[in-house]
Amino acid sequence: MTEFLRIGSTQIEVQWHRQGEKEKPTLVFLHEGLGCADMWRDFPVLLSQRTGCPALVFSRLGYGASDPCPTPWKLNFMHREGLERLPAVIKEAKITDHILIGHSDGGSIGIIYAGSPVAKGLKGLITEAAHVFCEKITVESIYQAKLNYEHHDLRHKLEKYHGKNTENAFRGWNDVWLHPGFIHWNIEKYLPLIEVPVLALQGSRDQYGTVKQMDSIKNRTSRVQTHIIEDCRHSPHAEQSEKVLDIMAGFIDEIIRLNTPKKGRPLDRDK
């Protein structure tokens, strides 16, 4: 069921699954650059059921049913999301231990958050198709999205999920990625600072990024698992749902096992 969190003077759209299971970390879902809470569809609830973890799915400002985020967005908008807005959502939702699951821009926001001092209570990070620097293939695909939005049916498809936020969501995201200065955007410095286990996934045919993104995450992060998902483009959780559910659930179960206090052996007593 959709609810709203008030963050300062703004409202954020949120959806809870299995709310109230306090003994396990909360799965916090961070959507892609054109996504929102509803666009995750049933994946969060399926992963919540598989792991027994409560899950929080939310739409960032400017997306879905959340309040607008006036354009133009700054080139460092993902830094603001990771360092200011995400911590505020986690605090307002009264979440303590948590695992982030971020797709595309959401994965990049998760990396910024995880590699910073604000990541209190973070137990793990999962990224799908995250970017840690800007590539030519990314810019080319985002320019194609602009053409599809202006001349084909992308605007209509997005209106189903974003309603009155459609123009805000698209222009905010698209204008930043196509800004000439954004080619220098890079968040690799956060990777060595991540202290929690990381799972990074990417489709073998991702149209928005090459395996160089995964290579950078693997080479700069100390506790990392990486998986290339075959026969998959930019959205592994949607295109290869069962396979991705298995991989993520196994990773989350291992984090829970590592963070569960071991019971001591019973004391030996004299007969």
Please give the Cα distance from 223 to 213 (Å, whole number): 16
Instruction: Report CA dihedral (19, 257, 122, 220) to the nearest 10 degrees.
Output: -140
Instruction: Give the residue ranges of DSSP H helices in the chain.
Output: 43-51, 77-80, 86-92, 105-114, 136-151, 154-162, 166-177, 212-220, 236-239, 241-259
Antiparallel, parallel or unpaired: β 224-229 and 198-203: parallel
Q: Tokens 């060595």 label which residue?
A: 192
CATH superfamily of the domain spanning 2-259: Alpha/Beta hydrolase fold, catalytic domain (3.40.50.1820)
Coil/strand/helix, residue 128: strand
Q: Quickly state the pLDDT bin for 265 (edges 50, 70, 90).
A: very low
| Tens digit of each residue's pLDDT (9 = 90 or more) over 52-62 | 999 999 999 99
Nearest-angstrom CA–CA distance, 126 and 251:
9
Is the pLDDT score of 268 beyond 50? no
- Rounded to an integer, what is the distance from CA 21 to the centroid of its chain? 21
Q: Say yes or no to pLDDT of 213 above 90.
A: yes
pTM listed for this prediction: 0.95
